Structure 1
Amino acid sequence: MTFEQVRTEPDPYAPYLLSQAIRLENLLFVSGQAGYGDDGAIVGREDFDRQADQAFRNLQRALIAGGSSLDKVVKVTIFLTSMKHFGKIVELRRKWFSAPYPADTIVEVSALYTPDAMIEIEAIAIATTNSQGEKS
C-alpha cells in the first residue's frame, strides 16, 4: 500500500505540520477544513454563515486536489462551537452534497484551533482520479 500527501494552494495548514489530505490508494482522508481564506485568516469573524460556506469551499478544494469530489464523500465529521447552527448545517448539506448523502457526525466542541473558528469539516472520500485528472 502506498499513501501520498495532498497539498492545496494556498496551504495555510503547512506551518502546523498538517497535511490537507492523505491519499491511501483510492481513499482520501481530508483534514478538518475551517472557514479560512487564502491568507489563512478566518473569514467573517462571528459570521457562521460565511465561515460555513468557506469551510465547504475549502473541503471541495482539498477533495479536488486529492482526485475526488463532493459527490464521492462517504463520511464527514462536522465540528461546531455551537449546536444552534445545526439547522444551517442541514441546509448546507443539501447545497453541497447530493443523494446518497454521506454518513455524518456532528459534534459540538468548546473550541477549535483558533478562537475565531466556528466550524471545521473533515471527510473521507473515494478518489477516482490522480493529480493530473486521469482515472485511477
Structure 2
Amino acid sequence: MKKTFVRGTWQQSRAFSPAIVTEGGRIVWIAGHTGQKDQDGKSLAGDFGAQTYQTFRNIEATLQEAGATLKDIVTMTVFLTDPRHTTRMTEIRTEIFGSDFPASAAITVTGFADPAMLIEIQGIAVIE
C-alpha cells in the first residue's frame, strides 16, 4: 500500500496532515474508542493526558487484532469535552505519530454517555 502525506504548512504545528493519499490496501474502520479506565480498571476521571494515552492504547489493541498499527491510521476524528485540551492532545499525537500525521478533525462536544470521559477518537486505517 502506498501512502502519500500532504504536509500543508501550519497543520504540522497542530499534528495533523490536511490530506493523505492511499493506493491499494484494505480499509479498517475504527469505531469510537475511549480511555476513562486504565488496563487494570482504575478510573482515569479528570486526567485528560492519561485518558488520551489510554485511548490510543485501546485503539492500538483493536488495530493489532485487525493486523494493523497506529501508523496505519490515515484519518481520525477527535471528540473533546473541553477545547482547552486540544494543545495537550496535539502534543500526545506528535509523540505517537512523529511527523507522519493522519488527517484529522477535533470537535468539541457537550458530553459523553459516561460523564468521566474527556476524549473519544474514531478513525480509518489502511493496511496492505
Fold-level similarity (TM above 0.5): yes
1: distance between equivalents of 2:72 and 2:127? 7
2: distance between equivalents of 1:28 and 1:121? 14
Letter in structure 2 aligned against 1:55: T
Residues 1-136 of structure 1 aligned to structure 2 (within 5 Å): 26-35=26-35, 36-38=37-39, 43-128=43-128
Give the conservation status (yes or no) of the 8 Å contact 2:46–2:116: yes
Between structures 1 and 2, the one with greater strand share? 2
Point out where structure 1 has 5 or more consecutive residues left out of the alignment: 1-24, 129-136
State the percentage of identical aligned residues.
30
Write out per-residue CA displacement over residues 50-89 of structure 1, whole angstroms, 9 at most, x where no aligned residue.
1111011111111111111111110000000001101101
- Root-mean-square deviation over aligned CA pairs: 1.7
Write out per-residue CA displacement over residues 5-30 of structure 1, whole angstroms, 9 at most, x where no aligned residue.
xxxxxxxxxxxxxxxxxxxx810001
Q: CA deviation at 1:44?
A: 1.3
Q: Which gives a bigger RCO, structure 1 or 2 (Cα 8 Å, sep 6+)?
A: 2
Q: What count of residue pairs does the alignment treat as equivalent?
A: 103
Point out where structure 2 has 5 or more consecutive residues left out of the alignment: 1-24
Letter in structure 2 aligned against 1:37: D
2: distance between equivalents of 1:30 and 1:92? 19
Between structures 1 and 2, the one with greater helix share? 2
TM-score (norm 2): 0.73
Letter in structure 2 aligned against 1:69: T
Q: CA deviation at 1:43?
A: 3.1
